Structure 1
Amino acid sequence: MIAIDVDKAEEVASRLRELRIERDRYENPRLYPPVGDPREDQLAFFTAMVAVDHRTSTPWESFEGYIGGEFYHGADVLYRLGRLAYDEGLFKAERLANLTPREALKLFSVGGKTVWDFYTRLYLLRDLGKKALAQGGFEGLVSVDTIKELKERLAKVRAYEDPVAKKTLLLAKFLDGRRLADFKDVNEADVPVDNHLSRISYRLGIVEVDYDFLESGVETNREEDIRLRETVKTAWRIVAKFADLHPFALDDFLWNFGRTICTRERPNCGQCPLREVCKAHKLGRYPPEHLHLATWYY
């Protein structure tokens, strides 16, 4: 059974209101382009990077390593490599449409390790480049007034075809935060659901899922995965409304929270501001997110 516990969502929202959560503006120079760069270049960077921003590590190997003497892990590796490739002019529609494996290694390889689905990501970037070219560039592809229209524009781009719209919502969050878009339909904003947000929702108890199932390691099929993530997205929408938080601000908090506090292994409950309303903490039982590996949706 999968259900949303609205009372628990209100409890969690009450705690979140006390934290004074603020939006990130995505201006870290190690990960993102300068805010003063040409609009087309910034749109190209974010649209392309989000297109390949899905699971980087597997249960068997982590995607991490040193870049320029600094250690990066997971998505940070991806965006650091992307930032370096941006300076080399990689994010042009025509160049992406004809991207070679050798060029793609600059984005997807660190410390002698190549990301687990290298050729899938190469394909996604090529497809995106071709779709952007057909629209005269990234400005023509993603410059819209509403999130709804952004979803419609990107629905035919393979990287963005997820029915739960994780990548589309993540791109909308970046464009909004960087002031590259001013979406008129704020009611269409939702959290982009990934493994962190699913895991946190199950542990807090805002989404009721059988813990035995989560701990079994049995992989969900595509339909089950979509149903679970849609439920998680709806639950966080309810929390955001109770907490009077923009869903994008909530996602900024949850994504970092999932990486640093409510981690998959050995959660740091001693530092958790939500532990008093956490179902998992009360039970002393910390299930992982549901398992669904072979996907580029998230």
Structure 2
Amino acid sequence: MSAEVINYSFKKVSLREYSISSVAPYLREAANSLPRDDFTNTEYYPPKNAELEDVLRYFIFMVAIDHRTSRDKPYEAYVDSRLYHGADLLYKLGSKKFAEDPSFFSPERMAKISSNEVSEWLSIKGVNEVSVWDPEVRADLLRDLGRGLIKWFEGSVTKLVNMSGGYLKSRPQGITYLMKRFKAYSDPVEKKTYLFVKFVERRGLVSVIDVWNKEVPVDNHLTRVALRLGLVTPEEDLLKKIKMRETFTWSEDVMLRLVVRSAYKMLSRITYLDPFILDDFLWYFGRKVCTRDKPACISSSECPFLKVCPSREDPEEVVEHHYVDTYYY
């Protein structure tokens, strides 16, 4: 655990090592039962035979805008007679655009993209029209990233990746440091950076050398799961804000997610699970089982943590911390 995280934990949030140890054996079994995604399904991602630079561009730009997709109504729609929701719809529309024109994801195109273009691209027209809630923000993130790639890396994501030498943090030009210069990847908890690395490593496009520096990409789903399982304990004022669904400040959000990330790092070490494999399970579990509203444990025994979850009697008491005006996750 970093000194930064320890400092935060003393202030407002602390790890619960007993809970982490109790959850570990159940988590190991559940995570190992989940099929490994190689991120080559063309419903969402470029095909296996796509050009290296094109694939890297797709992932760096798509992850840059991979944050909360809905506010007042769900971001979901039928595409080709199938219903897609949230991130699934986002990547479905990304994959369709890539199939039509891979050069759409070039830094030169992205450096000039407008909010109208983003809205047009990420919307479904019709009776039940849906669109991302913040096309202006996503366009700004894409433009900043496109211009930065041109300015610092000659428009080449391959050059950025090669410059890291396969390191995350163990050298001055590790990929986590190189990515921080882009607005989309400026999150202190580095959710999008680690998600990008997870994608490209699983595709076989990069080999991480300092694997001990891997972290789970912490978003609202992973934070909610950690809170309900009691892996972290907020002090009373923060816990009250969570239960009352009051909005967190920027620093409170960062503080909470940093400690959550540390809890999952401890879990990955105890279970001998790669943090990216752990993330596969946690993200699926948070979206499909331990959902914000009406988690599965209310009506079924689907949850693998029922025997050790402290929230099993009233899982909806702790929903998730409220912090929506962000492009970090």
Task: Tell me, yes or no, whether TM beats 0.5.
Answer: yes
Residue number in structure 1 paired with 2:26: 15
Secondary structure at the residue paired with 1:147? coil
1:56/1:115 contact within 8 Å kept: yes
CA distance in 2, matches of 1:216, 1:101: 34
Three-state SS of the structure 2 residue aligned to 1:47 is: helix
User: Is the CA contact 2:253–2:323 (under 8 Å) kept in the aligned structure 1?
Assistant: yes
The answer to whether structure 1 residue 150 and structure 2 residue 188 are counterparts is no
Query: Which one is further off, 203-212 or 159-168?
Result: 203-212
Q: What CA distance in whole angstroms lies between the structure 1 residues aligned with 2:259 and 2:121?
A: 33
Q: Map 1:71-150 onto structure 2 (within 5 A).
A: 71-87=83-99, 88-89=101-102, 90-111=104-125, 112-134=129-151, 135-136=153-154, 137-143=156-162, 144=164, 145-148=166-169, 149-150=174-175
1:259 maps to: 287
Alignment-derived partner of residue 255 in structure 2 = 227
Residues 1-298 of structure 1 aligned to structure 2 (within 5 Å): 1-19=12-30, 20-21=32-33, 23-58=36-71, 60-87=72-99, 88-89=101-102, 90-111=104-125, 112-134=129-151, 135-136=153-154, 137-143=156-162, 144=164, 145-148=166-169, 149-209=174-234, 210=236, 211-269=239-297, 270-282=301-313, 285-298=316-329
- After the TM superposition, which of the residue ranges 9-18 and 176-185 deviates more from structure 2? 9-18
Cα distance in 1, alignment partners of residues 116 and 309 from structure 2: 47
Which amino acid is 2:98 matched to?
Answer: Y
1:251 is matched by which residue type in structure 2?
D
Task: Tell me, in whole angstroms, the C-alpha distance in 1 between the residues paired with 2:121 and 2:315.
Answer: 40
Per-residue Cα deviation, 1:200-229 (whole angstroms, up to 9, x for no partner): 000000111354431101111001110000
CA–CA separation in structure 2 for the residues paired with 1:151 and 1:185: 12
Deviation of the 1:107 alpha carbon? 3.3
State the Cα distance separating 1:288 from its structure 2 match.
1.3
Range with bigger deviation, 228-237 or 141-150? 141-150
Q: Where do 5+ consecutive residues of structure 1 fail to align?
A: none
Cα-Cα RMSD: 1.5
- Give the AA of the match of 1:142: V
Cα distance per residue 1:242-281 (max 9 Å; x no partner): 1110000000000011111000000001200111111101
Cα distance 1:284–1:257, how it changes in 2: closer, same or farther (>3 A)? closer
Instruction: Point out where structure 2 has 5 or more consecutive residues left out of the alignment.
Output: 1-11
Taking every aligned residue pair, what percent have the same amino acid on both sides? 38
Task: Determine helix, strand or coil for the equivalent of 1:208.
Answer: strand
TM-score by length of 2: 0.87
Q: Is the 8 A contact 1:27 1:34 kept in 2?
A: yes
Counterpart residue type for residue 146 of structure 1: Y
Residue type of the alignment partner of 1:201: A
In structure 1, how many angstroms separate the alpha carbons of the residues matched to 2:240 and 2:143? 41
Q: Is the 8 A contact 1:203 1:286 kept in 2?
A: no
Q: CA deviation at 1:156?
A: 0.7
User: Are the aligned partners of 1:205 and 1:278 in contact in 2 as well (CA < 8 Å)?
Assistant: yes
Following superposition, the deviation at residue 294 of structure 1 comes to 0.7
Distance 1:76 1:284 in 2: 26
